[in-house]
Amino acid sequence: MRHLPFMNKGIKTGKESEGEKSMIRFNVPPYTGREVEYMQKAIENQHICGDGEFTKKCSAYLEKLTGTRKCLLTTSCTHALEMAALLCDIKEGDEVILPSYTFVSTADAFVLRGATPVFVDIRPDTMNIDETLIEAAITERTKVIAVVHYAGVACEMDTIMDIAKRHHLLVVEDAAQAIMCSYKGKPLGTIGDFGCFSFHETKNFSMGEGGALLIRDEKYIEAAEILREKGTDRSKYFRGQVDKYRWMNYGSSYLPSEMNAAYLYAQLEVADKINQTRLERWKQYYELLSPLQEAGKIELPVIPEGCVQSGHMFYIKTKNQEERARLIAFMKENDILTVFHYVPLHSAPAGLKFGRFHGEDIYTTKESERLLRLPMFYQLTGKQVELIAGKVKEFYGA
């Protein structure tokens, strides 16, 4: 392999700082070793725009992994959600039911098309949308239920799909955190009409910025390809199915560069190893912190029967927001970065402007104020997990 100038400086993988007195970061982007080699290959292929060798390899891998009919690599999960909103034919005045405890993109994708986000409360055990509250929020304007599998733990999909079927609604899965996760044996992202993955640097598998759209029903594939390729049938042209490509419909540019896909492929190749490592760290946290839960000091994540997660996130719940702030400060004094998560969308400026909350906010705000995420990334070592869990215990005087 030829040397690229920046390689002389070496790439920080997050492991070499061990021993030095340094911060344990909350996240370090995944790096497995062959990323640069594959990016160089993309350069040597002289194909660095989208849909080359590495994009094809990544999509094929994801299609095999999930068993979905079609997987299109995108520039982000946000863009995959936007594509899903367009494919759902969201129009001004439509309503979309979703949890308020989520990342902005779940709502943005639909708001951009003129829809009103209708938030319902979450379940305190999984932090996912409370499936028992969805039906009461449906009106004649409702078009989509957008679910979020928080921390890669599945929503109660049997109930949700049943509601969607009875009310003729589409289901979009924000599976940004849920690659390699499943519900009753079904891979997340493949149960609803559309599934959206993220390959942002904070996710289990990364390409810097990137994502994927999973399409369950064959009837949407052609429209999705056109949408992703600036409204043209260029995908068909490249497969030799048409002799010239033309402007077919509205569209945008949702395909990532080969450079990014090459980075991602290096990780997908060792996806099992990444997954195993993360699950080990997750389990280690869980075991080390269980005594604190038994003593009633904190709460640990709940993984319902039938749900397989992928160690995307490890969080604890403190007594309240004030205790959480003290714990964050204590951990920081000990050079460990811990972070809270979403500020509920319905109480944020744009949420107040664009959306409404249906029913009562019993858990969304209260539980979001207690949740604290501990460092979790591929390069995190078992020793670091011990150290972090030890500090949490010290804080609680255990």
Ligand X SMILES: *Cc1c(COP(=O)(O)O)cnc(C)c1O
Q: How far is the CB of 216 from ligand X (least distance, A)?
A: 19
For the bound state, the minimum distance from the C-beta of residue 202 to ligand X, rounded and expressed in Å, comes to 6
- By CB under 6 A, tell whether 106 contacts ligand X: yes
Q: Tell me the C-alpha distance between 246 and 207, whole Å.
A: 30
Mask of contacts with ligand X, 167-196, x by CB under 6 A?
-------x-xx-------------------
- Among the listed ranges 72-80, 217-225, 271-279, 387-395, the one in contact with ligand X (CB under 6 A) is 72-80
Can you tell me whether residue 308 is helix, strand or coil? Answer: strand
**DSSP three-state, residue 70:** strand
What is the separation of C-alpha 131 from the centre of its chain, rounded to a whole number of angstroms?
Answer: 20
From first CA to last CA, the distance across the chain in angstroms is 52
Q: Which is nearer to ligand X, 58 or 148 (CB)?
A: 148
Q: Where are the alpha helices (DSSP H) in the chain?
A: 35-44, 53-66, 77-87, 104-111, 157-167, 221-228, 234-238, 258-268, 271-294, 321-333, 349-354, 364-368, 382-395
Tell me the three-class secondary structure of 152-210, residue by residue: HCCCCHHHHHHHHHHHCCEEEEECCCCCCCEECCEECCCCCCEEEEECCCCCCCCCCCC
Strand partners of residue 372: 316
Cβ proximity to ligand X, 77 vs 180, nearer residue:
77
* Of 361, 376, 372, nearest in space to 321 by CA: 372
Binding to ligand X by residue 232, rule CB under 6 A?
no
> Which is closer to ligand X, CB of 192 or CB of 211?
211
Contact 38, 218 (CB under 8 A): no
Using CB under 6 A as the binding rule, whether residue 211 contacts ligand X is answered as yes
Q: How far is the CB of 70 from ligand X (least distance, A)?
A: 19
103 lines the binding site for ligand X (CB under 6 A): yes
Answer yes or no whether residue 216 interacts with ligand X by CB under 6 A: no
Rule CB under 6 A: say whether 78 interacts with ligand X: yes
Pick the binder of ligand X from 28, 36, 42, 77 (CB under 6 A): 77
Binding mask 133-162 for ligand X (x = CB under 6 A): ---------------x--------------
Is residue 76 a contact point for ligand X (CB under 6 A)? yes
Site residues (vs ligand X, CB under 6 A): 76-78, 102-103, 105-106, 148, 174, 176-177, 198, 200, 211
